[in-house]
Chains A and B, each alone.
Chain A
């Protein structure tokens, strides 16, 4: 490398951003998380629409069966739904919350 190259390099160094820039990194990660959220939302919407489309023609058949089943399993299903809600709200920390770990 010649002295001219060293001089060029020294001049270029004036344009160098800081080695650490939390504000820039945070701005990038904010956009990344927003993109991730939009993708998750799109997937959930798609799955919901597909589920709805599948259930629509089947509903006349399913409904009587569900009514019959719900009479027998309503308490158990209610308890399972509550447990599922608790798990979601605890964010997977159920074992800790229940003192099992």
Chain B
């Protein structure tokens, strides 16, 4: 609750033209936006970080339109999702940079590399909408309503995307609901 009210006061200051307040919003939400875009982009971290920067730049120009009390995180992810869809439509992105970035990616210590690669491959195979729903609700603890608002999809569609996406991921990772 306090975090939401801090967001509200920062948004109000940013709407009044304060770059310092906007910078604090970037600090507070960069992790969520970048994580979402990394998953939505199917593991293309370089593209995801580029899109995250563009997302915040667009957010700065549109901050005046953000309603009081609206979820900043959902709003930012919504902008990011639209950027992602636009990027997917435009062909010819530079892939050399991606290869370099992939080579520099840190390796997680908690999960085995094989499982992570399987998850990444399974995510990349999901349709874009389904992947975005899974990225928000299963990975980032968004509520279904919040994801629906962020992605501009009906609530029922979000629920069915999550259900199907989750089933496909579990299948790819050879996990079942009662797995230990």
Contacts and interface: CB of A to CB of B under 8 A. Distances in A.
Given A4-B175, A27-B53, A32-B56, A14 B31 contact: no
Given A12-B39, A15-B39, A29 B110 contact: no
Contacts of A13: 108, 110-111
B170 interface: yes
Interface string B52-77: 11001100110000000000000000
B35 interface: yes
Contacts of A11: 111, 115-116, 119, 173
Contact of A28 (B35, B56, B166): B56
A95 interface: no
Interface centre among A5, A28, A32, A35 (most CB of B within 10 A): A28
A15 B139 CA distance: 10
Contacts of B180: 3
Nearest to B135: A12
Interface string A1-41: 01111011111111111111100110111011101100000
Interface stretch (B18-26, B88-96, B145-153): B18-26
Interface string B146-180: 00000000000000000000100110010111111
Contacts of A17: 30-31, 34-35, 38
A42 B22 CA distance: 22
Contact of B27 (A3, A5, A20): A20
Interface string A51-84: 0000000000000000000000000000000000
Contact of B178 (A2, A21, A29, A36): A2
Contacts of B166: 5, 8
A3 B34 CA distance: 26
Contact of A10 (B19, B30, B110): B110
B57 A31 contact: yes
A38 to B, nearest CB: 11
Nearest to B24: A25
Interface of B: 19, 22-23, 26-27, 30-31, 34-35, 38-39, 43, 49, 52-53, 56-57, 60-61, 108, 110-111, 115-116, 119, 138-139, 166, 169-170, 173, 175-180
User: What are the 10 closest A-B residue pairs judged by CB atoms, nearest first?
Assistant: A14-B108, A12-B139, A17-B34, A28-B56, A4-B175, A11-B119, A11-B111, A25-B26, A32-B60, A15-B38
